[in-house]
Amino acid sequence: MAPRIGGFKPEALEIVTDGFCENNCIGRFQFGKVYRGVGEFSDHTVKLFEKVDNYEVRPGDNEGRVQDEDCLTGDDRVLSHPNMVEFLGISYPTERPAVVYKMQALDTVHNLLDKDSFSWLQRVKVAYGFASVVASLHDCRPIPYILRNISAAHIMLDQDCNPKLYDFSMISGGILPDKRELLNQYVHGCHGYIDPDYVCNGKWSEKCDVFAFGVVLLGLISKKVVLDEAKKTNPEPFLYEWAYSEYQMKQQGLKLDVCKFSLVHRCLEEEPLFSFQDGVTLTVLAMQCVDFNPLMRPTMKQVVQRLRKLCIIQNNPDLFDLENTPAASSFSISGIGKLLVRKLEVYSKMPRNMPKALFKKLMGNDFSKLVEKELQYLAPIILTYDNLKRITDGFSGENYIDIHQFGKLYHGKIGCRAVTVKTLEATVGTSIIKSGDNENRLNDELVLLQHPRFISHPHIVKLIGYCYEDERLGAVYDLESLDCLVNLIEKGMHSQLFPNLICER
């Protein structure tokens, strides 16, 4: 698939960023760094994907993320929102995939959170603008977009302090594959923003985004920064745990009036546009968003509606491009303290495979079927091109089956186990294959063959492993293949045909 937006060569990005000079580095996002453009490219921002220390990145992962962003540009529902970054181009496939945006960046919200120059008005604008864009993504139908990695580091302010969502590394749904129930999800969001309910149950939903937004909102009002896991020097609580702890401390020995409970930093209360009522409303809204029970959290649409009723927005609608709206409605807080009780249990071990709760939902209450399902699924292994050569005896003619539309098929052996190997090649057949096409096809296949709806289907191959090594791509299936259907028809072997594309012996 050819890029929908303009292509940038790696050497062009060197010019835009002055050789990726550290002075032009704005900060880190989940899977790399983001840079300002310089000189005539000062209205450019470059997001560079690279391997990182605190999140697992497997071969092809970052290329797949760039592919998703390229596809996003085909959805006008996404591009039209004022708080969505404007896409300019991509650099892909290369050793250092990147996305280029048209944005004169100021800084990320993560970097600005604890700075006194980041005013109360700017913080509320960030909260409202970011909530608005997330709500619009959730409203897309038939399948909503879910970001799954909301973080203050993924919100960029332009020179006018307008918040822009600029990272989509884990986005799911919409016109992209629905990844909510994929098996073998080894990246679970951003440290400090991960929904504990997801960790317990393995189920992504819009409420996971709501939880992460609540953490962002807590940081905005309290001036507290969510530290990267690598920067934490002691087991200090997560930001949302701190918020619950503050609530409990005020409860002890006193009858806490929820209508007077605020987590707003004192220096922000001194600003002229601050009102105590807004501080309380934002505090309660943030705590509702990080409620342990996802059913008690508001939707992002409800979050936007409540933000619109803030005094600062009511009294300054022109600053938020809004007209006056009715007064705020009542609120409630539930589940206080549950996160503190479950902290060690929930975060002691992040799940590497599909949690049992999700299997139970898919399989019903039959525990024997549950166990059988878990034993059947094994995460695909990462193979090298040399591995593929050994499996097929050097892609020998004896093991050759036939060509497929975008490559070749081979018999293979892993020990005593018969397998089938598929390669993806740019020079096979008559199909036009552009740069990055086969990489995209392999990424799509990895999504499909790890979806719980398809792993147990009798007429869909089971994925053992894959190779993503520069332009040498391939997949290995748990299949002792006989031949392609077309070959069997030509040989007149109709009595041996099965419904499979490649018939089993």
Res 455: pLDDT: 80
Res 494: pLDDT: 53
d(CA 496, CA 349): 49
Residue 157 in this model has a pLDDT that exceeds 60: yes
d(CA 72, CA 327): 36
Check whether residue 142 and residue 224 sit in a common domain.
yes
Residue pLDDT, tens place only, 170-219: 999 998 888 887 776 788 899 999 999 998 888 899 999 999 999 999 99
Whether residue 329 lies inside any domain: the answer is no
d(CA 231, CA 248): 27
Asked if residue 20 lies in contact with residue 36, where contact means CB atoms within 8 angstroms, the answer is: no
d(CA 209, CA 138): 9
Residue pLDDT, tens place only, 224-237: 999 776 566 667 78
- 91 phi and psi, to 5 degrees? -120, 105
Whether residue 267 lies inside any domain: the answer is yes
| Strand 463-469 to 381-383 pairing | parallel
Whether residue 287 lies inside any domain: the answer is yes
Check whether residue 232 and residue 133 sit in a common domain.
yes
Check whether residue 220 and residue 341 sit in a common domain.
no
Check whether residue 215 and residue 275 sit in a common domain.
yes
Res 255: pLDDT: 60
Residue 370 in this model has a pLDDT that exceeds 90: no
Residue 326 in this model has a pLDDT that exceeds 50: no
Check whether residue 362 and residue 317 sit in a common domain.
no
Task: Please say which residue of 372, 396, 431 terminates a domain.
Answer: 372
Percent of the chain with pLDDT over 90: 53
Residue 14 in this model has a pLDDT that exceeds 50: yes
Chain centre to alpha carbon of residue 100: 18
Residue pLDDT, tens place only, 475-500: 999 999 988 888 888 777 655 555 55
Mean per-residue pLDDT, 36-43: 94
Residue 463 belongs to domain with CATH number: 3.30.200.20
Helix (H) or strand (E) holding 256: none
Check whether residue 446 and residue 317 sit in a common domain.
no
Number of domains in the chain: 4
Range of the domain at 4: 1-103
Check whether residue 196 and residue 297 sit in a common domain.
yes
Task: Please say which residue of 103, 120, 139 terminates a domain.
Answer: 103
Res 221: pLDDT: 96
Check whether residue 116 and residue 214 sit in a common domain.
yes
Check whether residue 29 and residue 127 sit in a common domain.
no
d(CA 328, CA 465): 54
Mean per-residue pLDDT, 118-140: 96
d(CA 193, CA 214): 9
d(CA 456, CA 372): 11
Asked if residue 70 lies in contact with residue 5, where contact means CB atoms within 8 angstroms, the answer is: yes
d(CA 173, CA 163): 23
Chain centre to alpha carbon of residue 358: 19
Whether residue 502 lies inside any domain: the answer is no
Res 278: pLDDT: 96
Percent of the chain with pLDDT over 70: 82
Whether residue 504 lies inside any domain: the answer is no
Residue 374 in this model has a pLDDT that exceeds 70: no
Residue 291 belongs to domain with CATH number: 1.10.510.10
Task: Please say which residue of 50, 85, 103 terminates a domain.
Answer: 103
| Token pair 């960023």: residue | 17
Question: Which residues have a Cβ under 8 Å from the Cβ of 121 and sit 6 or more positions away?
Answer: 271, 273, 312, 316, 319
d(CA 351, CA 313): 42
Check whether residue 286 and residue 146 sit in a common domain.
yes
d(CA 215, CA 285): 11
d(CA 333, CA 354): 31
Residue pLDDT, tens place only, 94-122: 788 999 999 999 999 999 998 888 999 99
- Helices assigned H by DSSP within 223-337: 239-251, 266-269, 276-289, 300-308, 311-315
Residue 58 in this model has a pLDDT that exceeds 50: yes
